[in-house]
Each structure stands twice: as structure tokens, then as C-alpha cells.
Amino acid sequence: MRATKARDAGVAAVRGLALAGMSLIGSITLFTLAVTSIALIPVGVGVFTTPALLGLIRSHADQRRLLAAKWTGTRIPVVRPPLPRHPRSGIAGQVERCAVLVKDPVTWRDIRWLLVDMTAGAVIALLPLSLLSEGLFGILLLLGLWKPIVRAGGGYWYEFVRVDSWTTAAFAALVGICWLAAALRFGPALIRVHFSLTRSVLAPTREAELGERIDRLTETRHDAVDSSAAELRRIERDLHDGAQARLVAMGMNLSTIEALMEKDPAQAKKMLSMARESSAEALTELRDLVRGIHPPVLAERGLGDAVRALALRLPVTTEVEVDMAGRAEAPVESAAYFAVSEVLTNAVKHAEADRIWVDIHHAEGMLRISVTDDGRGGASAGKGSGLSGIERRLGTFDGVLAVNSPVDGPTMVTMEIPCALSSPKTSSF
């Protein structure tokens, strides 16, 4: 336990030093440049420099958000209105871009955070290291460090103790032990306080979050309508080009068989066999079409068993772990199933994976699904990729998608959908 606390205090001191460096160097520099650039907008120079600087500030703030989530689990949301999709070119476009950024409340919130970060944020970040170093220095005084210091200056004040003998050095060591105890007890907490302060300044207001959610739901609703229309067109095309064409051909064959039944029984028997094969193929295509719309196993057994059944059909070894005490609503199950299906298809086709792991569980009102493969990596949820379509599908249910895919792998795709479980599972493999 003591070793763990000592390690945590040391980690907190190092992280605090890194955060203080970011605050005292990065935040001060960006704040000074940003204020200067905005002041130069009326004379024209700031129009060209401000957008680039505000972009750097946003990147700086996003880096702090990333560290907050990674080091302490503190989530700092961000709501930023999009820039004009088709800005005008030339100076007019630059002025438009600059105006949008300067009018954006997020810009001024980021700048206000820089001011807080380079003052209170830096002080709080330095406290874990200060407590630790002050405590160690007090102990070093007792180990003999007080002698050269006293010889050089005649006496030394350590906090409220004047160190000039072994006795006073012992008192200083006791004070140092107190500082060390404070570092062990409060060091990690001070890092959390730093990120809590960051969150209090950077986090959007309730109104901004609601506005962003409304915009997101509006966009995803349009995507859902477009996706539904595209799905209906696909079903119509598959029926027209597949099962419907086979059924029409089979009907024509049956009419011919009826005419040949008495004249040429052998030919009629041959065509009857062809009609039987066509009916079997049409039935197979209809089953595949129904499975693509809503797999029967999904409706009967739920998401976990449906994904297991999907994994059995893959040419890659796939392990599926499911931890769900019930079932989600049918639309959520359907969206999650097809999202997993798309991710697995990408892993097989593009990642060249040898093994895939799927983890499905429900906790804290959230359905979480992670798909990990040992492929070549490099996947991205950027525009035009299959993952962007999955992101839009999940967005219909206020879900999110995260992709971690360094070059050379592995790739982990994580999906989260807020939902509640209702009826218990009916079966399990």
C-alpha cells in the first residue's frame, strides 16, 4: 500500500510538472499572441493571423482534454459550431472565417481558460512536486545537508524552523515528513483538482450542450431518413433483379411445361427440374434479403446470440464476449447489430486480421461494444469511410463511435449507445 501511494505521488509530481510546463509556456505564449492578434484585426493584420492562432488554442485545449480523460478520467465535453462549409475564396473568405471564429463564444471561453491555466492552473499543477521536493529536502537536512548550508550562510530557515544544529535539523525532518505525508495523500487529488478547474472553464454551458444536441439529432434524423430511403431502394433493386426475376422465369417455365406435358414429357420433366432449382434459389435469395433487413436470430435471441451467429460465418477466428442482463429495444439492437456487422466486414476485407475479439456489455445505462482485430491498422472514421456511416447510424440513437487504429495495428473500434435493458435474454449459446 505504501509503495503504491509513493508511486502515485511520484507520478502526480511528474504529471504536475508537465502540466505546469504546458501552462507556463504554452498557455502564456498562446494567450499573448492571441490577444495581440485580435487587437490587430482592425488594421488588417489580425485577419490573417487570428484564425491560425485560434486553431492552435483549440488544439492546445483539446490536448488538455485528452490528458484529463487519460490521467484522471475527467471528461471535458466540447461544443463548437462548424465553420462555413463553402467559404468564399481570397481575402473575403479569410475575413468571413475570422469573423465566425471571433464571434464564437467557444473562442472566448478558450482564451479565458488560457488566463486561468497560466495562473491558478499552473500553481495547482506544481503543488504535488512542491510538496514532494519540500518533504525530501527536510529529510536531507537531517542527513547532513544542514552543515554546508550553515557554514555558508550561518543559518537556514526551513519553513518556521531555524536549522543550525542536529536538533533543529531533526525538527526540520519532522516537518519534511509532514510534507511528504501531504504529498502522498493529496498529490493525485491535486492533479484532479487541476483538471476540474479546467473543466469548469472549458466545459460548455447547459444551453450550448442542448443546442448542440438538437443540431446533432436534427442531422442524424436526416441521415436516418436518407438511410431508410436508400435501404428501401436496395431492397426494391434486390427483389427486382433477384427473386422477382427468378419467379417470373419460373412462371414462364411452368407455362411451357404445361404445354409440353403431353407432347414431350421428357423435355417437360427436364424443365420441371430447372423450375425446382429456380424456386430453391429464389427462396435462398429471399432468406438472405430478410436476413439483411432484420436477422431472425436477432429478433428471437437478441444481440449477443445474433453477433455470435454472425461470427460463426466469418472466415477469421472471432471471439465474442457478452455481458448483458436483458435486452435493449429492437431499434437499438438492430442498429448495434448492423454496426458490428459492418466493423467485422471491414476487419475481414481491409485489415487482413487473423483474429478478432468482440466485447458487448451494458453498464451505467450504456450499451458498449468494442471490436478489436490484430490487423494492419490505419483505419479512420473520416469522411467517405464505412466507419462514418456507422457513426451516423449510431448518432440516430445519440450514440458515439471511437476508433483507435495506429499503423501496423491493432485496431479497436468502440461504440456506445445510451439505452436501458428490459426483458431478460431468452437463450444463449
CB 267 within 8 A of CB 253: no
**115 within domain boundaries:** yes
DSSP code of residue 424 = P
Please indicate, yes or no, whether residues 56 and 193 belong to a single structural domain of this protein: yes
Please indicate, yes or no, whether residues 51 and 151 belong to a single structural domain of this protein: yes
**401 within domain boundaries:** yes
Domain boundary among 263, 293, 323: 293
Count up the domains in the chain and report the number.
3
pTM (2 d.p.)? 0.54
Q: Which of 13, 428, 306, 331 is closest to 186 using CA atoms?
A: 13
Please indicate, yes or no, whether residues 54 and 136 belong to a single structural domain of this protein: yes
Per-residue pLDDT of the chain (429 residues; tens, 9 = 90+): 566 777 888 888 889 899 999 999 999 999 999 999 988 888 888 888 888 888 889 889 888 888 888 888 888 877 666 555 556 677 777 787 888 888 888 888 889 999 999 999 999 998 888 888 888 877 777 777 766 776 666 667 767 777 767 777 787 778 888 888 888 888 888 999 999 999 988 887 666 556 656 666 666 565 555 555 555 565 666 565 666 666 666 677 677 777 667 677 777 777 777 777 777 776 766 666 555 555 677 777 888 888 888 888 888 888 888 888 888 888 888 888 888 888 888 888 877 788 889 998 888 888 888 888 888 777 766 545 567 777 777 777 778 888 888 877 788 888 888 888 875 544 444
φ, ψ at 363 (rounded to 5°): -155, 140
Please indicate, yes or no, whether residues 30 and 164 belong to a single structural domain of this protein: yes
**226 within domain boundaries:** yes
Please indicate, yes or no, whether residues 265 and 378 belong to a single structural domain of this protein: no
Please indicate, yes or no, whether residues 15 and 30 belong to a single structural domain of this protein: yes
Pairing type for strands 355-363 and 317-323 reads parallel
pLDDT at 195: 92
pLDDT at 409: 73
Domain boundary among 244, 274, 293: 293
**428 within domain boundaries:** no
CB 250 within 8 A of CB 273: no
Burial class (CB in 10 A: 0-12, 13-18, 19+), 277: exposed
Please indicate, yes or no, whether residues 225 and 348 belong to a single structural domain of this protein: no
**427 within domain boundaries:** no
Grid cell in block for residue 285:
435469395
Collect contacts of 279-287 with beta carbons under 8 A, ≥24 apart: 279/246, 279/250, 281/246, 282/242, 282/243, 282/246, 282/247, 282/250, 285/238, 285/242, 285/243, 285/246, 286/243
**398 within domain boundaries:** yes
Please indicate, yes or no, whether residues 76 and 220 belong to a single structural domain of this protein: no
**423 within domain boundaries:** no
CATH classification of the domain holding 412? 3.30.565.10
Please indicate, yes or no, whether residues 156 and 11 belong to a single structural domain of this protein: yes
Per the structure, the complete domain to which residue 366 belongs is given by: 301-418
Domain boundary among 162, 181, 202: 202
The 3-class SS string of 387-416 reads HHHHHHHHHCCCCEEEEECCCCCCEEEEEE
Please indicate, yes or no, whether residues 389 and 364 belong to a single structural domain of this protein: yes
The rounded distance, in Å, linking the Cα atoms of 372 and 355 is: 9
Please indicate, yes or no, whether residues 168 and 277 belong to a single structural domain of this protein: no
**425 within domain boundaries:** no
DSSP code of residue 118 = I
Please indicate, yes or no, whether residues 274 and 220 belong to a single structural domain of this protein: yes
The H-assigned helical ranges of 264-321 are: 265-293, 296-301, 303-312
